[in-house]
Homo-oligomer: A and B are copies of this chain.
Amino acid sequence: MKLSIPVRVYYQDTDAGGVVYHAQYLSFMERARSELLNKVGIDLARFTREHGVLFVVFQIAITYHQPARLNEQLTVSAEVAKMARASLVFRQRVERGAELLCEADVTLALVDRERMRPARMPEELSQALK
């Protein structure tokens, strides 16, 4: 299960170094994860409401190779690399054409919305991501 989305770089994404601000790549990656989930029928707002669980980012390991700049057109991808009982790992990449700018492994935990404790992955999700 993999999805890519196009992302344009605007002033809002850049910093005074003239390049995309490092934390902003994580936001780009969230967009790709959300669109992947939408594509398999998981609307996050509805999902949380129905199952009472939230996705919470637990761990990120990210490496930056090349900077992106104003007005460039990037491709951001998300791929399910691993599914466990209460967590999910997405492998994510930001590319400019054939050039890899940035890559990360993002581990999400499923937590109960009220108690913020680990929650078992709802069947709907594991089926959808298969």
Contact = CB atoms under 8 A, between A and B. Distances in A.
Interface string A17-55: 111011110110011001100100001110010000010
Tell me what chain A mostly uses at the interface: helix, strand, loop, or mixed: mixed
Interface residues of A, number: 41
Contact of A12 (B30, B62, B64): B30
Contacts of A43: 71
Contacts of A58: 63-64
A60 B57 contact: no
B17 A67 contact: no
A62 B60 contact: yes
A126 B10 CA distance: 22
Contacts of A69: 16, 45
